[in-house]
Amino acid sequence: MITAFRRYLETWPVRLLFGVMVIAFVAWGVGDVVRRIGTSSWIAKVGGQEISPGQFNEIFERDLALAEQRLPEGQNVTATLRRQVANAALDQEIAQAALSAELVRLRIAVPDGAVRQAVFAMPAFKGPGGAFDRARMNAALANNGISEDRFLGMVSGQIAQEQLIGALSAGLAPPDLLVDRLYRFVAERRSALVAEVPFAAAPPPAAPDAAALRRWYANHPWLYRIPAYRTIKLVALTTDSLGRTITPKLAELQADYAAHKSIYVTPELRALRVLVLHDPATAKALAAQWRGGADWTAMQAAAKAAGGTAVALDPTSAAGLPDPALAKAAFAATSGTVAGPVTTALGIDVLEVTKIVPGAAQSFAQARDAIAAKLRAARAASRIYDVVHQVNDVLGTGAGLGKLPGDIGLVGASGTLDAKGMTPSGTPAPLPGPAALRAAILKAAFATDPGQPPAEMTEVPASAAGGAAFFALTVEKVTPPGVKPFAAVKDQVAAQWTAAQKRKEAERIATRALAAMQGGQDFAAAAAAAGLAVRPTPLVGRQGQGGSLPAALVQALFRLKPKQPTMVQTANGFLLAVPAAIVHPDPAKDKTQVAALRAVLGRAMAQDVAGGFAAALRARAHPRIDQGQLDSFVNNGQ
């Protein structure tokens, strides 16, 4: 049989079949592998540039950390937020790559001198004297994990981009007609004549009968709804509650005070102006000139002319000054006097004390309570997990909260509350601990089945609770939501029915007066006929500036034509109003505001041009995105 099979292999139909199989394997199998070679080395391609996963990850993690900091307390990062941050970060990198490619194409280069000048001007890199301090720059770059070459490249790229964008937006100016129209719209001011119909002033209705109150009660059940309540029993443990069971010994307090005495003793500080010179005779002459009444500006110039330097030092302790001799002279001088010349390791100094900040010392007796609180908190933080394990050992047996020891820092509470943390009497439930712990307890109370004993304590994240916090609870009773019986809320129903009728009557009064005004009757006459007092309002702008009118009235006022009345409802009643004065602004008389408006419009136009240019560059670059790589960042840690 094998011989026959081999004989068939020599025939052309079989050879053709195997050939087709090989081609299919290459096309569907190997071809797919070949197409995917290299996709793991980039997350996006923009023109000839590649954005690597490592490069993207640095931006993504930074932006994600910032987004997490802006989240409300107790809320965690979601997959949706990760995707939003990832998409925004990738769009930013793609736009940056497209712009960088355009800079190369246009051959825009930045001289080394311009980069150096920009770096030297950065406030973060300046020392006490205001001069560039390389040590500060190195420390800042090290703290942010950025090499010097990369940082200088970033500065160069930023300058180049500013040159390009500046060239695009140079000469942009909003049309005079646009500035004029917008200024006249924004700066217009109006006043009104106003008549008010308060709800409280409306005539009271006749006493309602029982049927009317019953109808009101039936038609407004949400006003008398009883929320769901849960009766719970709980224990909580925090570093604060555990710390109250700890009493440090006197010797421990004294030892801690001695070990950290620098915290409780603040040295005297002095601010100085110092001339650093190199010739004794020159130093003596400048000291005499300074004592003679020359100001600091003149002394700076004189020191520079003599080949020296002038430095102003912020308040510093004696130990913080660069030379012991300078420190000795500075702390021996009085404020406002010139001392020296003093020979130091840096030269010959002449100095003036410009400010003295007195030192302070806190005695052990004064610091004792704070030290005790610190030691209690530290020991509680180190012990709290041991206490939690001890509690969990008891809860794990099913014994419930009643069998827990009472001397290990547990705080107990019990009572009835709703989902908002309010008791049936309408007061906040006295839940223990910080806000994050109370929120976690409340959430668990409405997620736990009644009668279920806790198996262990639940931990609340330390960052949210202000320290380690745990709780365990059991739900003893569930009260479903419902509606209060009519008999229990009869007085409330009557009061609300009466208030509603008075609102309706106030609306009828205001509507009749408005109809009379719209029919041609003078505003003051129509208001007087309705028994309403008329008062003028001050001039206000479109945003309500210049007055205290309700926002609804201000919005309506600027839509009205002269002598056209309107009616708006406020929290306390109805307002009838008609424009009293319309002040049209004159741009020629307010050139400062017109110039400011022109500048704002110019910046907006420049931003629009820059945004449109960036979008055009991005579209022209035809970016390609490896969606699988991007998804890996979004799904990481989920």
Beta bridge partners of 269: 357
Q: Given this model, what pLDDT does residue 12 score?
A: 52
Three-state DSSP state, 152:
helix
Task: Please compute the mean of the pLDDT values over residues 554-579 and round it to a whole number.
Answer: 91
What local confidence, expressed as pLDDT, does residue 610 receive? 81
Question: Is there a contact between 428 and 457 (Cβ–Cβ < 8 Å)?
Answer: no
Q: Is 468 helix (H, G, I), strand (E, B) or coil?
A: coil
The pLDDT of residue 37 is: 41
What are 579's strand-pairing partners? 192
Q: What is the mean pLDDT of the chain?
A: 82
- Compute the average pLDDT of residues 329-340: 83
Largest CA distance in the chain: 123
Strand partners for 356: 270
Q: What's the mean pLDDT in 452-478?
A: 82
Residue 465 confidence class, pLDDT cut points 50, 70, 90: very low
Is the pLDDT at 253 greater than 80? The verdict is yes
**Which stretch of 129-138, 346-355, 367-376, 589-598 has the lowest confidence by average pLDDT?**
129-138
pLDDT bin (cut points 50, 70, 90) of residue 39 is very low
Q: Report the alpha-carbon distance of residue 423 to residue 432 in Å, rounded.
A: 15
Once rounded to an integer, what is the mean pLDDT over residues 569-581?
92
Q: What is the pLDDT of residues 181-194, one digit of tens each?
A: 988 898 899 999 99
Res 352 pLDDT > 60 = yes
Number of C-beta neighbours around residue 527 at 10 A: 26
Whether the predicted pLDDT of 374 surpasses 70: yes
The one-letter amino acid at 629: Q
What per-residue confidence (pLDDT) applies to 22?
47
pLDDT of residue 19: 55
Contact of 536 with 192, CB cutoff 8 Å: yes
Question: How much of the chain exceeds pLDDT 70, in percent?
Answer: 91
- pLDDT bucket at 309, cuts 50 / 70 / 90: confident
State pLDDT tens for residues 80-113: 888 888 888 888 888 878 888 877 787 877 888 8
Q: Determine the average pLDDT of the residues in 315-328.
A: 80
Residue 82's contacts (CB-CB under 8 Å, 6 or more residues apart) are 64, 633, 634, 635, 638
pLDDT tens-place string over residues 110-163: 888 888 888 888 888 877 667 777 878 888 888 777 788 878 888 888 888 778
Contact status, residue 576 vs residue 195, Cβ threshold 8 Å: yes
Task: Identify which has the larger pLDDT, 232 or 288.
Answer: 232
Q: What is the dihedral of CA 10, 14, 20, 22, to 10 degrees?
A: -50
pLDDT the model gives residue 462: 61
The beta strands (E) that lie in 106-219 are given as: 189-198
pLDDT at residue 404 greater than cutoff 80? yes
**Contact predicate 546/187, CB 8 Å:** no
- Round to whole Å and give the CA distance between 234 and 454: 10
Contacts of 478 (CB under 8 A, 6+ apart): 228, 229, 230, 231, 450
Lowest mean pLDDT among 265-269, 375-379, 421-425, 446-450: 265-269
